[in-house]
Amino acid sequence: MSKKRAYSQVVIALLAAAVAASVGAQTRDASRLGKDLTAAGAEPGASKDGSIPAFTGTESPAGGWAAGKKRLEHWKHKAEKPLYTIDASNVDKYADRLSPGQVALVKQTKGYTMDVYPSHRSCGVPDFVAENTRKNVAVGKLKDNGWALQEAALPGFPFPMPENGAQAMWNAKMRYRGLAVDYPQVITAASPRKGGDEWIKAYSEQTNYYPWGAKGSALFSKLPQVENYVYFGYTAPAALAGQALAITIYTEQPTETFYYFPGQRRVRRMPTYAYDAPQIGFENQYTLDEPYVFNGALDRFDWKLVGKKEMIVPYNSFGAYDFSAKFEDVAGKDFLAASHRRYEMHRVWVVEATVKQGMRHLAPKRTFFLDEDSWNPLVADDYDGQGKLWKVREGYSIPVFETGACDVSAFAQYNLLEGRYVFDEHGVGTGKDVRWITEPGGNPRLTAAFYTSENLRSISER
């Protein structure tokens, strides 16, 4: 090779690197947030056909709302009627705007319909979350392993301009939910087996504590390396009553679970009670990494950021949180009542998860659909080891008046192969609403000490 040709190739390589660096720097320009991107990194404009409106920002509840009152009654769009209904007769018409799992659910579940309403983009964030998110354009970083969070200004979205799937998933995992989500009572339910009538209904009280969720700004590296702490204590049925768990979900270390068994009057450490381990008492219908559409560590999968999609998704789904309703009026034998599900057109990020070589998981391929405005996980499709669609999860997003952001708590998971479903993290049928807590107020559950094995034993033996 001549010296002239070699020199030319070096120059071309340097120019290419400079262009790539320039594009990267432009992509990571923090000044875009609040201008051509929203504070969360979403496109603020409407879709070309107008089905997705322009971003409007956080909406306040109608006057008179206070904790314990029905949220829907204080939402200004509560009187809206559906634009159209999707059912088995017309689902193919909308298939390009649904996930494969949603299409299968409509086709194979007799009577299942989806009422689609006008779209509202009112999922904003408080100012301190917006400011931390702006900092994270420069600060947010994953560890060298490619999946664990190394640094972020919190509470805030670590990667408002994600470059890969793991970064997008961290935005979902670290969405602002206040300091805690508290459930005075929740019914975790699995529908009857085909041909049967017997439900599994586990009654419990729960608290999810997010130690990084305090108002203000803190670097993750200066905080406990914990995603969240979880406590729940079962009150019924008799087979589960008295059992209780304290869980620490770390951002990189394995999840630590302590389980209290009243018959033995002792706490046991459960070193493998994570990932796709079936939850005790639910006939293999519900694993540890399925709550909230996704729960737990990212390390078993490779995460690919596919891009964006305009999609019909659960949104402003207040009916899934109707704590004053009878459980059986909301949770039918085969699916949640259409009257308590609401769908809208929104833009979502699509993330594909493929199990890593040398790792195992019951669902080796999964696809997640994350709301561009809130990073809430709205839909997930799971595939089994033979590549068949297996489960589809829908997360019911609502504006949370306490936090000034939107969140997914209540969700349903449909097992397409067995014709059963799970409904969890709601207040339906209990008479008590889910509570989002933003101030510590001396609450003992908002301390790491509450989630130790010693404390679990102490509070469980009373």
Across the chain, mean pLDDT equals 93
Residues 346 and 313: beta-carbon distance below 8 Å: yes
Q: How far is CA 348 from the centre of its chain?
A: 13
Instruction: Please check the confidence at residue 292 and state whether its pLDDT lies above 90.
Output: yes
75-82: list long-range contacts, CB under 8 Å, 24+ apart. Answer: 75/316, 75/318, 75/399, 77/118, 77/120, 77/316, 78/318, 80/117, 80/118, 81/117, 82/115, 82/116, 82/117
Q: pLDDT value at position 57? A: 87
**Number of neighbouring beta carbons within 10 Å of residue 338:** 18
Of the candidates 100, 97, 95, the residue with the CA atom closest to the CA atom of residue 391: 100
Instruction: Please check the confidence at residue 325 and state whether its pLDDT lies above 80.
Output: yes
DSSP state of 113: -
Q: pLDDT value at position 28? A: 77
Instruction: Please check the confidence at residue 3 and state whether its pLDDT lies above 70.
Output: no
Q: pLDDT value at position 14? A: 43
Q: pLDDT value at position 13? A: 44
Q: pLDDT value at position 11? A: 40
Write out pLDDT tens, residues 413-432.
Answer: 999 999 999 999 999 999 99
Helix (H, G, I), strand (E, B) or coil at 300: coil
Average pLDDT for 271-282 = 95
Average pLDDT for 236-261 = 96
Write out pLDDT tens, residues 28-76.
Answer: 799 999 999 999 999 999 999 999 999 998 888 988 899 999 999 999 9
Helix (H, G, I), strand (E, B) or coil at 30: helix
Write out pLDDT tens, residues 185-225.
Answer: 999 999 999 989 999 999 999 999 999 999 999 999 999 99
Average pLDDT for 307-330 = 98
Residue labelled with tokens 């952001």 = 405
Whole-structure pTM value: 0.93
Write out pLDDT tens, residues 362-394.
Answer: 999 999 999 999 999 999 999 999 999 999 999
Average pLDDT for 7-13 = 43
Residues 188 and 230: beta-carbon distance below 8 Å: no
Average pLDDT for 155-179 = 98
Write out pLDDT tens, residues 105-154.
Answer: 999 999 999 999 999 999 999 999 999 999 999 999 999 999 999 999 99
Q: pLDDT value at position 462? A: 59
How far apart CA 137 and CA 135 sit, in angstroms, is 5
Helix (H, G, I), strand (E, B) or coil at 362: coil
Of the candidates 310, 317, 275, the residue with the CA atom closest to the CA atom of residue 423: 317
Q: How confident is the model at residue 27 (pLDDT cuts 50, 70, 90)?
A: low
